[in-house]
Structure 1
Amino acid sequence: MPEGDTVWNTARVLERALAGDVLTGSDFRVPQLATTRLAGWTVAGSGSRGKHLLLRLTKTGETPRTLHSHLRMDGAWRAYAPGERWSGRPAHLIRVVVRTARSVAVGYHLHEVALIPTADEERLVGHLGPDLLGPDWDPAEAVRRISARPDVTVAEALLDQRNLAGIGNLYKAETLFLRGVWPWTPVAKVGDLTGMVELAQKLVASNRGRWTQTTTGSLRRGTTSYVYGRRAQPCRRCGTAIEKADTDERITYWCPRCQPRTD
């Protein structure tokens, strides 16, 4: 699942490709927007909120609009030059195409695609907690939200976008490893939630602006994570085999020695 830094990077790709330009055409391959035409609208900018993408549009005499999309597990946006072959994904996965004189942006396997008045963005993203990469980032507020459900496991609390927006399975697993916390520890038994959310924010922010995600500081293949994606491999700290649990897309990796079980 794309995490906050990937979504932030995608928003920057769309910003560079489209911002300030007038759309010359659009093609929506989702039923609710199949007849929508955006030619003549200007791309005011592109932003992200947690894992949500927001492409903002303006047109003289019209109410500003926002094209909203969510990448979920396998969505992606790609930008191409006019006439360039679209090589990002199979054509049957295309959901949105927007064109300007200098760029074509293609959205593959997008979810929750909606075109709404920009003033109504909060209706789609207002439930989210502080954005790890946004100007609203507030560790105290994130901790307050997490602490409101003390019996929830800390792994679930970190993934809950209503608590803090932008963490997925990778940063969840890596944050818990670096803090030495067993993923199924109840929130009430976690000693330093502030330190935990601040570390998570630093990990996500450190990868902003690049596509290779690392929590170890190394960009070499096979060395970018401590536990994520390393089932049965030796822990980089103690040598114990990394374990993995996989339930309903909630993939968790941990070191049973560095993150001892608590009951």
Structure 2
Amino acid sequence: MPEGDTVLQAAKRLHTALAGEVLTRSDLRVPRFATADLTGREVLDVTARGKHLLTRVEGGLTLHSHLRMDGSWKIYAPGERWRGGPTHQIRAILANEHRTAVGYRLPVLELIRTTEEFKAVSHLGPDLLGPDWDPDAALRNLLKDPARPLGEALLDQRNLAGIGNIYKSELCFVLRVTPWLPVGDLPADAAARLPLLAHKLLDANRDRPARSTTGRARPSERLFVYGRAGRPCLRCRTTIREANQGDGSRERPTYWCPGCQQGPIA
């Protein structure tokens, strides 16, 4: 599931494959930009901003994409079979002599002026894996609405950018509170630790091929609670539970341990 760490990894792969090379093929399969042609332009840079990807191209243009729940960019060598999904799911193709980048199921894909990137990302809070990371600002943002459930506040990219549904559940577990606890009810020490802990977890996984919040390598033990409903807690052996929690746009599966985490539940 794309979160800040996996989006950063995607940006690095795209940058390695495309930056410094001239595009020999450009195909944007969304109605608004279907006639746009970037062929002949050099790709200057690919960078991540929270969960957003910015591919900067010669001539002052930026291809802005967002993976959301199941979008992806795949890189292929010449002649390699494309395996990212059926053809009708392809939204973008960018190719040079050596590599082809194919974007599948991209819910957001737009071509904008590089000078106007702020219109796409200015709403974001401090980026957990970016140069603008500011834990104090992130905490102030989270505490602006003290009645809001912690899980919802963590998913709001306007507070801090990069946390998705997995890290939401994992952070609440490590802090020993449920995702439904109002932000204002967080113990002072937990509130102070929250931004630093979030940064620590994402930073530890920025280069890992398989995400782990527990520090364990075994696939069934890489995460404390996410995706482990019905299994025993790795800490106290209580059965992990699952319920849906809204984030202002949709209900998302949320996991917690009734034995380790204190606070209201769904």
Output the TM-score relative to the length of structure 1.
0.96
Match of residue 202, structure 1, among 194, 200, 210: 200
Structure 2 CA distance, aligned partners of 1:211 and 1:52?
19
Q: 1:196-215: CA deviations, max 9, x gaps?
A: 12111111111111231100
Partner of 1:178: 174
Determine if contact 1:139/1:194 at 8 Å carries over to the other structure.
Answer: no
Describe how 1:54-203 pairs up with structure 2 within 5 A. 54-58=54-58, 62=59, 64-191=60-187, 192-203=190-201
SS in 2 for 1:155: helix
Cα deviation for residue 223 of structure 1 reads 1.1
Structure 1 range deviating more: 44-53 or 214-223: 214-223
Indicate yes or no: 2:242 matched with 1:240.
no
1:199-241 per-residue CA deviation (whole Å, 9 max, x = no partner) reads 1111111111123110011122111011111001111111110
Q: How many residue pairs align between the two structures?
A: 259
How is 1:210-249 mapped onto 2 (pairs within 5 angstroms)?
210-247=208-245, 248-249=250-251
In the alignment, structure 1 segments of 5+ residues that lack a partner are none
Match of 2:49 in 1: 49
Q: CA contact under 8 A between 1:28 and 1:97: conserved in structure 2?
A: yes
Shift of 1:25: 1.5
SS at match of 2:63: strand
For residue 174 of structure 1, give the secondary structure of its aligned residue in structure 2: helix
Cα separation, 2, equivalents of 1:262 and 1:9: 35
Q: TM-score, normalised by structure 2?
A: 0.95
Deviates more, 1:127-136 or 1:190-199: 190-199
Aligned to 2:258: 256
Percent of pairs identical after alignment? 53
The 8 Å contact of residues 221 and 234 in structure 2, kept in 1 or not, is answered as: no
Looking at structure 1, the residues matched to 243 and 101 of structure 2 have their Cα atoms a distance apart, in angstroms, of 37
Secondary structure at 1:229's aligned position in 2? coil
Runs of 4+ in 1 over 3 A off after TM superposition: none
What do you get for the CA RMSD once the two structures are aligned? Answer: 1.2
Give the C-alpha shift of residue 262 in structure 1: 4.6
- Return the alpha-carbon distance in structure 1 between the equivalents of residues 55 and 191 of structure 2: 34
Partner SS, residue 86 of structure 1 = coil
